Amino acid sequence: MKRTVLLVVVIFVLLLSLMVALAATHSETPNDPRVNPDANACYTGGSWAGKCKLDDELWIAGWYEIRLEYGLISGNQVPDQYKWILPQATEEPAGKPLPKPL
């Protein structure tokens, strides 16, 4: 009888510990793609924080954006549907100077 009770208590403690470990909030892991595979520019502290809301496309693009910011991927590795996140070229086209600001 004592062994059964002890076994049930041990199992309960292990399950409770597992639930606590799995319920760790995102804020406990850094929003750094070098250490967190779920890092995203949409998360708190990211360059797009508060802008993504419920837009799934922005959340996916945010995953690529933060990796671009950290230099972990190049623009060639961004899927075509998210190329709009790439910085626009600011170089002058050959033979055509950019207009001067007023």
Q: What is the mean pLDDT of residues 44-71?
A: 93
Note the Cα 54 to chain centre separation in Å. Answer: 15
Q: Amino acid identity, residue 102?
A: L
Report whether pLDDT(102) > 50: no
Report whether pLDDT(100) > 70: no
More confident call, 28 vs 57: 57
Share of the chain above pLDDT 90, in %: 51
Task: Quick: pLDDT tens for 63-93.
Answer: 999 999 999 999 999 999 999 999 875 554 4
Contacts of 69 (CB under 8 A, 6+ apart): 41, 47
